[in-house]
Amino acid sequence: MKQLNRREILKLTGAAGAAGLVANSPFGGLVAGAQPATSAVATKSSPLGVGSRGYYLTFGRIPTVTLETWRSIMDSFAEDGVDHVVLYLGGAFRSRKYPITWQYNKEHENVRHNFVGPLIDYAHRRNIKILLGFTPYTYDGTNQYAFQRPDLKGIQANGNLARLQGIHSWGYNLNPTKTDTKRFMLDYVREMYFEFYPNADGLLIESADIDICLGGDCGGPTRYYEIEYEFVQQISEEVWAHNQGAQILVYPHYFTGAPNGADMPYDPRWGLFFTPWTVNLELAKRASYAYYFDLDVLDKSPRYVQASVKYARDNGFAGYLPSHEFFTYVPEHAEIGDTSVIGRQLHPFGIEVIGLDENPYTDPLVAVNRTAYREYSRNPDLSDDAFRVLLGQAVFGDSATDQDIDDLLSMHDAYYFGKSLFSPAAQADPLILRHNLERGIMSSDDLRRVHDGLEALPAVTHRLRTSPNPAVRHLSRHAELITKNWRPADRELLASHLGT
């Protein structure tokens, strides 16, 4: 059975979360992964970060946020007991050796002002470790190098040169068999870690599985991951020589064996970082420690967050480090096939009332999943009633009523049910409805759900506007935006597809 890559899973499921994919959905068999190879060695050492909480953030795709706001964000994370944050820094620092890597992102606040060093120091004061993220030979920043050195482009399995692709950073995957490619990759990461941010706590080395170099001397996926492993091993040794306690998380491709990975020696100093498309529970058990990542906190309802926390707990992961990232760039391409975003300013979590240099984690809708992550991490078996009480207190204070909580969850559903990485749900923005109809991904149940939500919206808006609780009234902005977005022609389109 074919194993899907991450982008295919996002297309199939609308950024579906890992727990459902792995355990319960029809896609489970497609993402289960290969059996572990024999060279991954178990260890008796105590796992690091048992019960760890953290977030993965593609920092380069958040160009508008300043240091002051990032400090506020770290404060929010610390309030929730977060102890790890992955800042994916590829393409988001002003490399002196390879300026081509940030030219596409030259307006990024960190490219302009280089504040990540002080931000790391601030995170440490809040007891948060910062790991710097990047991907060998591709993805953000790295894939820009081929514009300067087209002779280093990777080769597809069909023998053609790498195609233009990416998210935000659109470029070309590199050929790691080339001497100059290897030199570039090592120099780029050395510069990032040793010269720019030596106060970081380690690295997340994120393997790619989209358009990696498979043709020519790359020799297919097994050989590719053997070559990538050489880089991972070398940079890891250099980082540990600098800081023997540095934490280095790697993807499992190097240890899963053929046909979708290599069979290389496992160093127990590495932690493994599993995703829905790479999860391999047998390999996770044999590693020194492993973290689990998915997208449920980013774009799902609290029940999915609870399921993912339980999945991480029940399968012995040392921590659950999901994506809770947001984007504030203007796409120039169809991101993961989504043409509706081209030329549109992205707002945090697709919620336009949140400013481009504002801490989005204080927004009431974002706070729903933030609260779910915090409280279910503390008690994965928390009852629905107990969670509602905690949610009401967190967002509205002790005076929150059952109706307030119902309205909050209704508004969360309007923005989150079926949202993408980049845009809100169809109920929040009819442009998304039109786009989804064109792609054929709106079922009759989905359309009915949008219709029913819009029918209930006037009453919800009235309650929010007239509430004596200012925190509840603050939520009325979100309801009013939906009303503003929906024109009569949009309602007519919805009705025509419902046959009403």
Domain boundaries, the chain: 33-293, 382-498
Instruction: Determine the Cα–Cα distance for residues 394 and 79; give it in Å rounded to an integer.
Output: 11
Element (H, E) at 311: helix 302-314
pLDDT at 245 (0 to 100): 95
Residues 475-492, mean pLDDT to the nearest whole number? 97
pLDDT at 6 (0 to 100): 56
pLDDT (tens digit per residue) in 377-397? 999 999 999 999 999 999 999
The torsion angles phi and psi of 477, rounded to 5 degrees, stand at: -60, -40
pLDDT (tens digit per residue) in 289-298? 999 999 999 9
In the predicted model, is pLDDT for residue 103 greater than 60? yes
In this structure, what DSSP letter does residue 194 have? I
Q: What is the largest CA-CA distance in the chain?
A: 68
pLDDT (tens digit per residue) in 264-298? 999 999 999 999 999 999 999 999 999 999 999 99
Element (H, E) at 87: strand 84-88
CATH code that applies to domain 33-293: 3.20.20.80
Strands 169-171 and 202-205: unpaired
User: What percentage of the chain exceeds 90 in pLDDT?
Assistant: 86
pLDDT at 337 (0 to 100): 87
Angle made by CA atoms 94, 99, 104, in degrees to the nearest 5? 85
325: confidence class by pLDDT, cuts 50, 70, 90: very high
Instruction: Determine the Cα–Cα distance for residues 146 and 356; give it in Å rounded to an integer.
Output: 31
pLDDT (tens digit per residue) in 412-453? 999 999 999 999 999 999 999 999 999 898 999 999 999 999
Residues 184-207, mean pLDDT to the nearest whole number? 98
Instruction: Determine the Cα–Cα distance for residues 119 and 109; give it in Å rounded to an integer.
Output: 13
Residues 203-215, mean pLDDT to the nearest whole number? 92
Whether pTM > 0.85 for this model: the answer is yes
The torsion angles phi and psi of 129, rounded to 5 degrees, stand at: -85, 145
Smallest CA-to-CA distance from 82 within 241, 408, 320, 384 is with: 320
Task: Say which residue the tokens 């459902």 belong to.
Answer: 20
Element (H, E) at 131: strand 129-134
Q: What is the mean pLDDT of the chain?
A: 90
In the predicted model, is pLDDT for residue 41 greater than 70? no
110: confidence class by pLDDT, cuts 50, 70, 90: very high
Cα dihedral 327/330/334/338 (nearest 10): 50
pLDDT at 38 (0 to 100): 41
22: confidence class by pLDDT, cuts 50, 70, 90: very low
pLDDT at 102 (0 to 100): 98
